[in-house]
Amino acid sequence: MKKEVTIVGVSGYGGGELVRLLARHPDIKLVQALGDTHAGQPLSSAFAGLHGSEVGTLICEPKTSKVRGEIVFLAQDNGYSSGVAGTLLAEGRTVIDLAADFRLKDTEAWEKFYKLPVPEESVREKAVYGLPERHREQIRGARLMANPGCNATAAILALAPLIEAGVLENSPVIVDVKAAVSGAGRAKSDAPYRFSERNESVVPYNVGGVHRHIAEITQEAGVTPTFVPHLIPMSRGIVATCYAPLKNKSSLESLYEVWKRAYASEPFVIVRDSGDWPTTKDTLGSNYCHLSATVDPSTGLVVLISVLDNLGKGASGAAVQNMNVALGFEETAGLEGAGIWP
Amino acid sequence: MKKEVTIVGVSGYGGGELVRLLARHPDIKLVQALGDTHAGQPLSSAFAGLHGSEVGTLICEPKTSKVRGEIVFLAQDNGYSSGVAGTLLAEGRTVIDLAADFRLKDTEAWEKFYKLPVPEESVREKAVYGLPERHREQIRGARLMANPGCNATAAILALAPLIEAGVLENSPVIVDVKAAVSGAGRAKSDAPYRFSERNESVVPYNVGGVHRHIAEITQEAGVTPTFVPHLIPMSRGIVATCYAPLKNKSSLESLYEVWKRAYASEPFVIVRDSGDWPTTKDTLGSNYCHLSATVDPSTGLVVLISVLDNLGKGASGAAVQNMNVALGFEETAGLEGAGIWP
Amino acid sequence: MKKEVTIVGVSGYGGGELVRLLARHPDIKLVQALGDTHAGQPLSSAFAGLHGSEVGTLICEPKTSKVRGEIVFLAQDNGYSSGVAGTLLAEGRTVIDLAADFRLKDTEAWEKFYKLPVPEESVREKAVYGLPERHREQIRGARLMANPGCNATAAILALAPLIEAGVLENSPVIVDVKAAVSGAGRAKSDAPYRFSERNESVVPYNVGGVHRHIAEITQEAGVTPTFVPHLIPMSRGIVATCYAPLKNKSSLESLYEVWKRAYASEPFVIVRDSGDWPTTKDTLGSNYCHLSATVDPSTGLVVLISVLDNLGKGASGAAVQNMNVALGFEETAGLEGAGIWP
Amino acid sequence: MKKEVTIVGVSGYGGGELVRLLARHPDIKLVQALGDTHAGQPLSSAFAGLHGSEVGTLICEPKTSKVRGEIVFLAQDNGYSSGVAGTLLAEGRTVIDLAADFRLKDTEAWEKFYKLPVPEESVREKAVYGLPERHREQIRGARLMANPGCNATAAILALAPLIEAGVLENSPVIVDVKAAVSGAGRAKSDAPYRFSERNESVVPYNVGGVHRHIAEITQEAGVTPTFVPHLIPMSRGIVATCYAPLKNKSSLESLYEVWKRAYASEPFVIVRDSGDWPTTKDTLGSNYCHLSATVDPSTGLVVLISVLDNLGKGASGAAVQNMNVALGFEETAGLEGAGIWP
C-alpha cells in the first residue's frame, strides 16, 4: 500500500519541485497540499505544468489544516518547523524539514546565524542531518530529517571526505558559490529579485563569514571556510568552487582515490575526471551532484568543482532521497533520470 | 520483451532529448546510438547529465554503422532520411523521422520550400504525418512516421479543429511565433546563434511567406497563414500566437466547444480558460501543448495562444508518442509528468 | 546659461535612464531629483553606475519637495501628473510627463482604459502628444508634453504614415508585441516579475483588446489594432510585429516610399531594407527606432517590424527628445550615439 | 585638428565597442576600419546600431589594406600584432594593441602560456603595459601600448596596491572569476559558445594554473594566484572575487586607506564601502572598475570584489583611455558617463 504524503508550504519553489518529483514516485501518494496562497484551488493553478496530471487536481488546503499524511514535508520559512515538528512526530508521522530549524547541533551557531529560538531539545535530539552520503545509517528509520542547505550540500560533498581522510589542510578553505536566483525562494520578490535587475548581472552578497550555510559546512565537513555567494542570472543551479591547500604527501591521485572510495556506491554523486569540468546544465532538474578537481601546480592549492541543482539535490530531490532511505524505499525512486538539456 | 531502439544522429538537441525520454520508457531498450561527433565514446560524454545512468554507458557508433534496432529514430538533417528509409523499412524496422523529408504530401511544396529531391514514391506513400491528435488511426501500426515541425505542431493544434469546424474564416490567418534558440539545432553555430548576440535580443527572421513550416500548416490545417518567427533568448519553448477572423455566428463559446471536443481524450493537449494564458515555462521539458483563446471585441479577431516545448511536443516527445501509438504501447509511456518549474 | 531640470520619481527605471541621459546633455543641468525611496541619499545610491560622476552626488529629496527646475520630468504612476501639472505650469515650468495622464484626447477612452479621473480640462488642453515624428511643430515651444507609451511608439511609427498615405487597409490590423520585462516598471515586484519565473519563459498577457496602449494607437495612427503583448526574458527592448492588408494598387515599393519620405529627415527613425530585419540589440540603450517591412505574397498581408528600446525611444530617450524640441535645443543633444552591442 | 584613427579587426566585439566609443570622442576621427568579414560594406552592416550615425557609413576595407591612421588600434588574434607593430611604429604611428603580444616582459611566460614566437626585441622594448592606474607616466607619449587582459585588469586593480603596500600576504592568493561570454570573442562560435548550451548554465574552464591572464597578474601585482574562470550566462561583465590573507598588523581600515590613496585621483576606479557590493550591471557599458572588500573574521582572509565590463575597462574602454593618456587628450574623453541600467 502506498504511504500518504502531505506537503506543507506547497506554493514555493521547493514545494513545487516536491510535487513534480512525488507525482512519479511509485511508493507514495500525495494526498494533501497545504499553502495559503492557493488554498481552495487545484495544484494546477499554482503550477500550470501539472495540468493534465492527476496530482494537478488535488485541492490545496489552508496552511493550518490538520495534517493527514504519514509522511510530511515541511517547506516553510525557518522557524516554522520548530513549532509543529513535535506534534507531528507525536502523531506518528515522519517529517522531512526543508528549512534550517533542525540542521545545526550547535545551538550557539543556530542563534548566531539565524537569530531564532532554539527548537525544543526533545525534538532536536531526534533530528538527523539528512545527507545520506554522510549519514545513511542514521537516516534509515529516522522520523525527523533536517534537509541540508543547497550550498552546504555542494560544499560538504566536495570537502568532507577529503578533510576526513587528511588529504586537505583545513585552513584556509574557501568556498566561492555561483547560485541561481531561485535559491532565494519564491517569497523574495523585493528589488534584488526583480527580473530586470538580476538579468545580465552577477551579484555578490553575504560576502565573507555571514552566510548561514557556513555553520552546516563547519558541522559536517569539519572546516570553516570563507564563503562568498554570488547570484547568477539563471533559474536553477549551483557551482561551489572550493579551494584548500593539499596536505603534505597528498596528491591529486590520492584525492581522487578518496572521492572514488567515498562515492563508489552512491547513486547521486558523480566523480568526473580532472579537466572534465561539470556545468550546472549537467544537473538541471536532476538529483545528481557532479565533482571534479585539480591541483594548481604554481600554488599547491587544490580546486574542487561541485555542481548541483539547488532545487534538486540542493532541496526537494534530497528531501525525496531522505524519505526513500528513511522509509526503506528504493533510494532512487522518483529521482531517476537525467536532467533537462540543453 | 523490450523492443530494441536505434537513434541515428544522437549528438544533436533532438537526439539528446530522445535519449533522456527513452531511458525511462518501460517497453523499449536503447541499444544503439549513431553519431559521428561522439563515435567511440559513451553517451555520457555527449550529454553529461547521463553520468550515473545505464544509458550513459552506451558507446556511440559512427553514423554509417549497420542499424540494429527494430525501432529507428532518425534525427538528421533534411534529405538524409530519404536515402535510408527505404532500406530500413525493407529490413522490417519501424522508422520515426524527426526531419522534414516525409512530412509533405505535396511534392511541389517540398521542392519549393526545401529545394531537395523528392523522396522515392514507394517510400513516401508509406509515410504518415505523425500528429496523433489528427491521425491517430493511421499511425497505429504505421512503419514510417514523419514527425511534425515544432512550429507547425503549435499552429496546427490551435487552428486545425477550428478551421475544420467552421469556427474561423480561413483568411487572413496569422501565426506569430516566439521560439527558443534550440529550435535551430545544435549544428547552427554561426553568428546568429552565438550566446552574446542572441542574449538580451529578439530576432525576427524568415519574415512572411518563407518559413518551411508553412507548408505543413497548409496541409494539416487547411489554411496558409502569414507566418513570422522570432528568436527569443531562451533555450526551449515556443509560443504561437494565432490570429484569425471569427466566422459569422461563431463565438468564443463555440470555439471552446470545438477545442474541448477535439481534445477531451487527448493526453497531451490542455485547453485552458480564456484569460489563463499559458507561458512556455508551463511546458518546459514536458510533452504538453497548452491552448487558450479570446476574441478581441473591438476587431472581431480571434487570438489563439498555443505553447509547447520545441524539443518536447515539438520534436522528441512527439517522436516517442508516435512510437507508442504505432507500436501499441501506452501512449503516455516515457512522457508522463510535468515539466521543470521554475 | 544651462536650464535647470527636476526629475520627479527618480528611483524607477525611467527615472534612472533620464539621469543617465541628462548627465551628458550640454544645455541643461539636473539640479533636483525627487523620490521617496532614496530621499536623503546621493543618486549613486540608487544607481551605482553613477559613482564617479558629478550627477551621482546629487542628494535625492522627498517626493513632496518644492520643485525648483525650469524643466520638470514626471516619472510617476498614472494619475499623479494630473494632480501637479497645473501648478507646475502656472509656475512657468515646462513639464514632460512620462505617465499616461495627458496622452489621450478622448476622455471616454481614458476612463475606459485607465479607470482614473479625467485631468482638469484647462490643463489637458495644453498637452501635446510628445512624438516629434508626428507632432514636431506643436511640440516646439510647448509647455506640457505627454510622452507616448513604449509599445504605442513602436506601433505608431510603423503604421501611422502608411495608414495616412492609404498604403494599408485599416482593418484588420494586428500588433503583436514582444517586450522586455522592464516595461512593467520597477515597482512591479510581484510574482510575474520575479527573475526565476520570468527567465526562460515567454508570457502572453493582456491578450486582445485590453492593453492601454491601444487607445494611443487609435488616436495617433487612426486604426484600432488587435494588440497582444508578450513578456520576453530580457531587460530592455521591444519588437512590434504589425500585420495589415496592403491596399489595392499599393506595393512594397510604395510602402517604402512613404516611409522614406516620412522619415528622411528624422534623426531617430531608421528605415532598413526589406529582409534586413532589425533586432532589439540594435537599439539597446539608444534612442533609435528601426523599421523594416515585407509583403507575404501568399496572403497579401504586409508585415512591419518595428524595434526600439522601451527605456530609450520608448520612454526616457523620447522624453529628452521632446525637451530638446520644445526648448529649441539641438534635437539630438544627449541622445547621440549607438547602443550597447553585444 | 582631429587625429586620424584606424581600427584593424573591426568586426569583433572589441572592434565594435571601439567604434561606439570613438564615435563620440572629440579629438579624433575614425577614418579607416579594416576587417575581412565586412570588407566593402559600411560599418552599419557589421553593427546595426550605427545606422543613422556618420561613422556607420564608413566603408570597411580588407585587413591587408595600407594603414592610414596616425593612431592604430589592433583588435586581432594573438600573434598578429607581432608581425605588424614594427612597421606601424616605423611609419610614425601610435599603436594600441588589444591582443596579448606585448603584455608580458617575461619571454618564458609568453612562450609557456601562449605558445607563440616572442615578438622582435626592438619592438617589444618599446611596449608599455597599458594600465594607466599603474603606469600612467610611462604611457604618456608612448607609441606602443599593450592593452591588458580583461580578467587581469580586474585582479590587478584590486590586488596590486595592497600587495605593494604590504597589506596582504602574497600567498595563497585566489582569483575566482565570473565572466560574461563575450570575453571569448566573436570568432568563438564552436559548441561552448552556442546560446542554448551557455544559457542557464555556469561553466568552469581553464581551472587552476592554466589561464593566460595569470602571467599578467604575476607581472603587475607581484603575486601568482590560483585563478579559476567561470563562464556566466550574460553578454558583458566580470566579477573577480579575490582572496588573500591579511598581513599581520593590517586591517580592513588599512586596506581601505591604501585603496583610497591609490585611487583618489583615478577617474575610473570606484572604491565602495565594505558591504556595498558592486554588481556587473553597475558597470555595463561604462569604463569603470568598482572595488569593495571585507575581512572574514572567522578565517582572517580578505575578500576583494572587483567588477568591470570586459568590453569597457576590460578592453576597448581601456584602449581609448590609453590613447587619451598617450596623446595628451583629456583622460576621460569619449568615456564619460554611466553604463546602461537596468
Question: Under an 8 A CB cutoff, do D204 and A236 touch?
Answer: no
Cα C213 from Cα C100, distance rounded (Å): 9
How close C194 comes to chain A (CA, Å)? 5
pLDDT of residue B208: 87
Which chain A residues are closer than 8 Å to B48 by Cβ?
272, 278-279, 282, 290
What's the rounded Cα separation, in Å, for the pair A24 and C218? 51
Under 8 Å CB-to-CB from C87, ≥6 apart: which residues? none
**Min Cα–Cα distance to chain D from C280, Å:** 10
Please state, in angstroms and rounded to a whole number, the distance separating the CA atoms of residues C98 and C139. Answer: 15
Which pLDDT score is estimated for B263? 98
Tell me what pLDDT residue A185 has: 81
* Percentage of chain D lying above the pLDDT 90 cut: 94
* Interface contact B196-D190, CB threshold 8 A: no
pLDDT of res. A191: 58
Query: Is the model's pLDDT at C39 over the cut of 80?
Result: yes
Q: At what angle do helices C150-164 and C252-263 cross, to 10 degrees?
A: 120
Write the burial class of residue B4 (CB in 10 Å: 0-12 exposed, 13-18 middle, 19+ buried): middle
pLDDT tens for D81-100 read: 999 999 999 999 999 999 99
In this complex, do B53 and A200 lie within 8 Å of one another by their Cβ atoms? no
User: Would residue D150 show up in a list of annotated catalytic residues for this protein?
Assistant: yes
Q: Which residues of B touch A49 (CB under 8 A)?
A: 281-284, 286, 288, 338-341
By percentage, how much of chain C surpasses pLDDT 70?
A: 99
Chain C residues touching residue A234 (CB < 8 angstroms)? 199
Residue B8 has pLDDT above 60, yes or no: yes
Q: How confident is the model at residue C186 (pLDDT cuts 50, 70, 90)?
A: confident
Neighbours of C287 (CB within 10 A): 25
Helix spans in D246-330 (H): 252-263, 317-327
Q: Residue C114 gets which letter from DSSP?
A: H
The residue in chain D having the minimum alpha-carbon distance to the alpha carbon of residue C312 is D340
* pLDDT of residue C190 exceeding 70: no
Cell of D276: 556595498
pLDDT in tens, D43-56: 999 999 999 999 99
Q: Which residue of A has its CA nearest to B56?
A: A338
ipTM value > 0.95: yes
Phi and psi dihedrals of D133, rounded to 5? Answer: -65, -20
Q: What is the overall mean pLDDT for chain D?
A: 96
Judge: A224–D278 Cβ closer than 8 Å, yes or no: no
Nearest to B18 by CA among B92, B77, B71: B71
DSSP string, D95-148: EEE-SSTTT-S-HHHHHHHH-SPPPPHHHHTTEEE--HHHHHHHHTT-SEEEPP
Nearest C-alpha of chain C: how many angstroms from A195?
4
CB contacts < 8 A, C to D, total 109
Which residues of chain D neighbour B196 with C-beta distances below 8 Å?
Answer: 13, 180-182, 186, 193, 235-236
* Nearest alpha-carbon partner for A4 in A72, A59, A65: A72
For residue B197, the chain C residue with the least C-alpha distance is: C342
Residues of A taking part in catalysis: 150
The pLDDT assigned to C208 comes to 86
CA–CA separation, A170 and A223 (whole Å):
6
Contacts of A200 in chain C (CB under 8 A): 235
**Does residue B95 contact residue B147 with C-beta atoms inside 8 Å?**
no
Nearest chain D residue (CA) to B196? D235
Residue D1 CB coordination number (10 Å): 5
Dist CA B205 CA B229 (whole Å): 6
CB pairs under 8 A between A and D: 168
Residue among C52, C200, C338 minimizing CB distance to D47:
C338
Could you count the other beta carbons within 10 Å of the beta carbon of residue A264? 9
Q: pTM for the complete prediction? A: 0.97
Which whole-number Å values give the CA distances from A107 to A119, A208, D37, in the listed order? 9, 21, 65
pLDDT 10s digits, D141-175: 999 999 999 999 999 999 999 999 999 999 999 99
Closest chain D CA to residue B188:
D194
CA dihedral D62, D67, D70, D73 (to 10 degrees): 50
CA distance A34 to chain C (A): 19
Q: Spell out the per-residue pLDDT of chain A, length 342, in tens.
A: 899 999 999 999 999 999 999 999 999 999 999 999 999 999 999 999 999 999 999 999 999 999 999 999 999 999 999 999 999 999 999 999 999 999 999 999 999 999 999 999 999 999 999 999 999 999 999 999 999 999 999 999 999 999 999 999 999 999 999 999 998 888 755 556 789 999 999 999 999 888 999 999 999 999 999 999 999 999 999 999 999 999 989 999 999 999 999 999 999 999 999 999 999 999 999 999 999 999 999 999 999 999 999 999 999 999 999 999 999 999 999 999 899 999
Looking at residues D205-225, what average pLDDT do you find? 95
Per-residue DSSP letter, B25: -
Q: Is residue A22 a contact partner of residue A10, using CB atoms and an 8 Å limit?
A: no
| D313, D322 Cβ separation under 8 angstroms | no
- pLDDT attached to residue C155: 98
Q: pLDDT (tens digit, 9 = 90+) per residue, C137-179?
A: 999 999 999 999 999 999 999 999 999 999 999 999 999 999 9
Handedness of CA B178, B180, B181, B182 (dihedral sign): negative
Subunits in contact with chain C (3 or more CB pairs closer than 8 Å): A, B, D
> Is the Cβ–Cβ distance between C126 and C214 less than 8 Å?
no
| Contact residues, chain D, for C52 at CB < 8 Å | 267-268, 270, 288
D189 pLDDT exceeds 60?
no
> Could you give the residue ranges of the DSSP H alpha helices within chain A?
13-22, 43-46, 80-90, 107-114, 121-124, 132-139, 150-164, 195-198, 213-221, 252-263, 317-327
Is residue C75's pLDDT more than 90? yes
Nearest to A245 by CA among D166, D304, D174, D224: D174
The strand pair at A3-8 and A71-74 is best described as: parallel
Taking CB atoms within 8 Å and a gap of at least 24, the contacts of B52-59 are B52/A267, B52/A268, B52/A270, B52/A288, B53/A336, B53/A337, B53/A338, B53/B23, B54/B23, B55/B19, B55/B22, B55/B23, B55/B30, B56/A338, B58/B30, B58/B31, B58/B32, B58/B33
**Pairwise CA distance, residues C315 & C18, whole Å:** 9
Alpha carbon of C8: minimum distance to chain B alpha carbons (Å): 29
Q: What is the pLDDT of residues B57-66, one digit of tens each?
A: 999 999 999 9
Contacts of B236 in chain D (CB under 8 A): 196
- Between CA A314 and CA A304 the distance in angstroms is 18
User: Across the B/D interface, how many CB contacts are shorter than 8 Å?
Assistant: 62
Q: Which residue has the cell 591612421?
A: D69
Query: Residue B242: what are its φ and ψ, rounded to 5°?
Result: -110, 140
- The pLDDT, as a whole number, for residue A188 is 58
Task: Give tens-digit pLDDT for C239-268.
Answer: 999 999 999 899 999 999 999 999 999 999
Pull the grid cell for residue C110: 481614458
Subunits with 3+ C-beta pairs closer than 8 A to D: A, B, C
Residue A131 DSSP SS3:
coil
Residue C184 confidence (pLDDT): 82
